[in-house]
Structure 1
Amino acid sequence: MLYGIVATAIALLLAALLAQLLRSPALRLGVLDRRRRRAVPLSGGAAVALATCLVAAAGDATGAAPLGTGVGALLAAGACVGALGLAADVWRLRWWIPLAGTAVAAALVVPYEETGVPGGLLAVGWVVGLAAAFRGLDHADGLAGTVGVVTAFGTAACAAAGLMDGIAVLLGVLAAAQAGFLVHNWHPARVALGWCGALFTGFVLASAAVFVRAGHGAGASAGVLFALTAVACADVVLVFLARWPARRPLVCGGPDHLGHRLRRLGLAPRAVTLLLGVGALGGVLAGVCAHTGWASGGVVLWVVAAAAVAVLALVRVPVTPVLPPRQRSSTASPQVSERLRVRSG
């Protein structure tokens, strides 16, 4: 218990410090988020990944909080995924490269002996999908960090209930690192997650959740996993329903996510984050209760219904159409293009 408190405190402070220290190099190198109206350096993702890996690895190496073989491999794979995401941020790799690397890493850590091969393949798809979902949540100031903190603590509670101490410690450290990142990501954001932080966070959360639910029924597990990540899943479904019928690209950035649509309804940026954070907390509480048996599995259906109502309501909110990257660059004004060029060095 004492180590857990100390570890989370260190992870929070370390992530906040690293996010600030890495901000200037990111600005100089042009590692920026160009989807926003202002250039935001992507130093937050590296800070979250480094703080989580260093603190968790230190606890495992000293014996203060052993992670265990499976969890240690999960952390190592997460570090590799984060490194690949950092390469995508720096060199602007095609979107499928980091996602393919995430799929390979997930395939190496999924516990097939408990899930079976078909279940393991579904788990790999789940891990990749959640990693991509966290990349999408990085569109709004504070949103990805808030959802990450809530989801990590909720999944840690599920792990602790199953006496999976290694996973619980790792997720507690990840939640603290996300909280340290939020110090700089709260509106107006000074840093963002980027591919590095989104892939690392989504990979660790999804893989840990798979470990926690391994051995349970497939249907019940799917419901619990959805509840734990309801906001991220709803954002993915919303974007899909908006873009697929109109044959718009599904993988490029665009102003049609949850946060964008809530802003169009008149909500302030911080209000959007708080509202979606409350929604994430409600889903997490339902998922924890269903996992531990404190409530029947039917509580998950309420989360699914609430998410469906929100998605169907928000999909009708008009947004700016999503254009392919080449078309966006060709239609941008010379002044905007010049400002981005100067800011990116």
Structure 2
Amino acid sequence: MPAWLTATGAALAALVLADVLSAGLGRFALRRGIIDRPDVRKAHDRPTPYLGGVAIAVAALTAGTVSIPYWDRRITVLVVAAVIVALVGLLDDVRPTRPAFRLAVEAGAAGAVVLAGGRIGVFGHWADPVVTVVWVVVLANSFNLLDNMDGAAAAVAVPVGCLIAGAACLEGRRGLALLLITLAAACLGFLVHNWAPARMFMGDAGSLFIGFLLAAGAVLVRIPGGAPARLAELLLFTFVATVDTCLVVIARPRAGLSCFTAGTDHVSHRLRAMGLTVPQVALTLFTVAGLAGLCGVAVAAARLPGVLTLAAAGTGAAALVLLLIRVPVYAVVPEEAPGTADVLPMTTRAAAGPGPRDLAPGRAPASDPAPVLHIDEWRK
């Protein structure tokens, strides 16, 4: 069977399976109370079921593993490691776990990928494995942070998965390419349920699985051009997630907030504060991720110079962080507001109560209103 026909069939199977599984798992999550409840640090305003990530993982792995013509050690380790990360995320969705436990499991899974041959390959000595593990873990959690608005994380994963698959094809890694294509298709099938107003969230099981598989898949692709080209490729394939993480890490300490708590001050929320609707935010992230990923494929194909592309990508990322950090999203809330800090994202201000002053002028619009979701809606 031609390779393109195999890939098309696997993608369609993953898309349909993710759609069907999302509907069934959504009903199950509502019955079992596996839901994300609104609070002052979250943008959504209705209880929403998790387990969309389980649908994505099962659909992607089922369609991908059935379609892969032959298995090598790298693919086997990648699939097993991704499943372990997804299970840890699922455990956290059902019953919150300690961050140290999650990070240890993620580091172990990333270490397995390194032992199977995945390396960033920048230094050429012992530092490469260490940096690779750290990078994969950071990117997995960056996608977890990116999953903060209806359709955001899945919309980014669709083009990124397809484009890393394109880079894998250039290297002749057909099995890896099929796995990443089915991941992108599964995310697209899940978007039917996650598009604004979302009826379902992917949860940590999905965001960690997606982030880990994309990051680990990227390090398994070897490209010519040396260290600058390698760094440019990795930055471009993870451009949106990297910018979002850098923005949070820089902005929150300046506002006196922890980087390790939930908040409505990510790239997506700042785009909302600039006047975009939730669907427009998702489409913007999709477009930026796609354009950056196309440049990453061009670097992998030696069509763009590594040094200049890395400089341009780094400058673009820094400019976006500096631009978005100026968007007002924080507000001071009164001390008598129970369970709140002195400073909160402005999108939570209505829930926390009016504050005496703003840290910056303006108010970020809240997420689009939607009625409370009941299990009966899944039967329609």
1:73 to 77, 81, 90: 77
Q: Are residues 1:108 and 2:138 paired? A: no
Matched, 1:44 2:52: yes
Q: Is the 8 A contact 1:228 1:287 kept in 2?
A: yes
Please report the TM-score for the alignment, with normalisation by the length of structure 2.
Answer: 0.81
Q: Which has the higher helix share?
A: 1
Q: Deviations over 1:9-61 (max 9, x none)?
A: 1001001111110001112222222332222211210100111122222234x
Shift of 1:266: 1.1
Matched residue, 1:33: 36
Cα distance, 1:302 vs structure 2: 2.5
Alpha-carbon spacing, 1:23–1:241, altered in 2? closer, same or farther (3 Å): same
1:262 aligns with 2:265: no
What is the aligned partner in structure 2 of residue 338 from structure 1? none
Q: Distance in 1 between matches of 2:115 and 2:145?
A: 27
Q: Tell me the distance in 2 between the aligned counterparts of 1:125 and 1:327.
A: 34
CA contact (8 A) 1:130 1:203 kept: yes
Q: Partners of 2:339 and 2:321 in 1: how far apart?
A: 28
Bigger mean CA offset, 24-33 vs 262-271? 24-33
Gaps of at least 5 residues in structure 2 are 342-348, 353-372, 375-380
Between stretches 134-143 and 242-251, larger displacement belongs to 242-251
2:9 is aligned with 1:6: yes
Counterpart of 2:240 in 1: which secondary structure?
helix
Range with bigger deviation, 79-88 or 311-320: 311-320
2:18 maps to 1:15? yes
Q: 1:117 aligns with which of 105, 126, 136?
A: 126
Q: Deviations over 1:129-158 (max 9, x none)?
A: 111111111111111011101110110010
Spell out the pairing of 1:198-217 with structure 2 (5 A cutoff).
Answer: 198-213=207-222, 217=226
Q: Match of 2:309?
A: 299
- Return the alpha-carbon distance in structure 2 between the equivalents of residues 87 and 214 of structure 1: 36
Change (3 A) 1:136 1:305: same
3-state secondary structure, aligned to 1:179: helix
Alignment correspondent of 2:65: 57
Task: Pick the aligned partner of 1:273 from 278, 282, 301.
Answer: 282
Mean Cα displacement is larger for which, 78-87 or 210-219? Answer: 210-219
What does residue range 71-220 of structure 1 map to in structure 2 within 5 Å? 71-111=75-115, 115=121, 116-213=125-222, 217-220=226-229
The equivalent residue for 1:327 is: 339
Q: Which of residues 296, 317, 323 in structure 2 aligns to 1:287?
A: 296
SS across alignment from 1:171: helix
Instruction: Give the Cα–Cα distance (whole angstroms) in 1 for the partners of residues 100 and 192 of structure 2.
Output: 31
**Counterpart of 1:230?**
239
- How many residue pairs match? The answer is 330
Does structure 2 conserve the Cα–Cα contact (< 8 Å) formed by 1:111 and 1:214?
Answer: no
RMSD: 2.5
d(CA) in 1 for partners of 2:17, 2:340: 38
Secondary structure in 2 matching 1:251:
coil
Aligned letter for 1:27?
L
Residue deviations 1:186-236 (CA, integer Å, cap 9, x gap)? 111111121100111111111110010378633331221011110110000
Secondary structure in structure 1 of the residue aligned to 2:84: helix
Contact 1:253–1:322, Cα closer than 8 Å, also in 2: no
1:69-95: CA deviation from partner (whole Å, max 9, x where unpaired): 211110111011101110000001133
Q: Equivalents in 1 of 2:116, 2:227: separation in Å?
A: 13
- 1:322 and 1:234 map into 2 onto residues whose CA distance is 26
> Could you report, residue by residue, the CA deviation over 1:97-117 in whole angstroms, capped at 9, with x for unpaired residues?
223211111011114766453
What residue ranges of structure 1 are gaps of 5+ in the alignment? 334-341
The letter for the 2-side match of 1:161 is: L
Identity %: 38
